[in-house]
């Protein structure tokens, strides 16, 4: 699958992989800040942004898409940065193709089964409500974005999430609107997306030690808890773990300068 991408700068390749409901344009600020040091590629994963749609959406497919992208662009080795769903993608990729990774940075997601998390059902229900709200939007008779904003924000209690989702609305040349996201595919595959726990030390031939690894969590997020440190170090024994203050799950939107600083410090040190 040929993924849409944005490219900035020159140097050693660095690939940024967005999370669920995200797209490459959410990461332009981070990409441009890193482009002084690296050749930065920001991809749209399948069923997101301007990349192709498909009925399938799981981490084997996302991992294969990333491999195909690197091969297509003759990237033998790259720094990989993945957020949330994108973090799971790069973890799966690193486990399958460690020789293609020079540095791994995982943002606010842990290599574990979230079904074991006490808050799994709360998180899963939130995603189900988000997708339900998006599917309920009627584009019939819509003439401007304000009308769509009113529809969606009436159904999404968290306005930050609502405005983030609105970035996925595309206006066609004829003036009509549609979702860039493949809502039906994400809905059908939601359990696979939220799970994604096939990569554990029990499924690997050994621990992953061939490249530097950094996990970054938001201090206000519960996706990486203190109890997950042991799980991370079981798979990545030498991984560094950092916490960004005053940041929730959307690190790049809530604390972009701190995140950029942390990434630069880790890679360039």
Q: Which helix (H) or strand (E) holds 7?
A: strand 5-8
3-class secondary-structure state, position 139: coil
* Axis-axis angle for helices 59-72, 85-96 (nearest 10): 70
Q: Specify whether the CB–CB gap between 217 and 108 falls below 8 A.
A: yes
Neighbouring residues of 147: CB distance < 8 A, sequence distance ≥ 6: none
Q: Round to whole Å and give the CA distance between 230 and 235.
A: 9
As annotated, the active-site residues are: 84, 249
Least Cα distance to 196 among 97, 112, 72 occurs for 112
Residues contacting residue 65 through CB under 8 Å, at least 6 positions apart: 1, 3, 45, 46
């Amino acid at each position: 699958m040929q993924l849409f991408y944005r490219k900035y700068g020159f140097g050693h390749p660095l690939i940024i992989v967005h999370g669920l409901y995200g797209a490459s344009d959410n990461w332009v600020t981070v990409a441009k800040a890193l482009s002084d040091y690296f050749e930065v590629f920001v991809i749209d994963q399948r069923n997101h942004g301007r990349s192709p749609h498909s009925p399938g959406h799981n981490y084997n497919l996302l991992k294969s898409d990333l491999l195909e992208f690197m091969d297509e662009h003759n990237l033998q080795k790259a720094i990989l940065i993945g957020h949330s769903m994108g973090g799971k993608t790069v973890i799966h990729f690193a486990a399958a193709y460690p020789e293609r990774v020079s540095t791994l940075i995982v943002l606010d997601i842990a290599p574990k089964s979230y079904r074991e998390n006490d808050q799994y059902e709360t998180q899963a229900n939130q995603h189900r409500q988000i997708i339900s709200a998006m599917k309920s939007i009627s584009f019939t008779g819509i003439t401007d974005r304000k009308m769509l904003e009113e529809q969606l924000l009436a159904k999404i209690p968290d306005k930050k999430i609502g405005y983030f989702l609105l970035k996925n609305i595309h206006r066609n040349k004829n003036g009509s609107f549609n979702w860039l996201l493949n809502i039906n595919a994400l809905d059908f595959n939601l359990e696979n997306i939220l799970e994604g726990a096939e990569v554990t030390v029990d499924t690997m031939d050994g621990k992953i030690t061939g490249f530097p690894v950094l996990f970054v969590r938001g201090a206000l997020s519960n996706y990486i808890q203190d109890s997950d440190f042991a799980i991370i170090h079981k798979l990545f024994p030498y991984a560094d773990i950092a916490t960004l203050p005053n940041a929730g799950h959307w690190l790049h939107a809530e604390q972009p300068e701190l995140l950029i600083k942390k990434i630069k410090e880790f890679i360039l040190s």
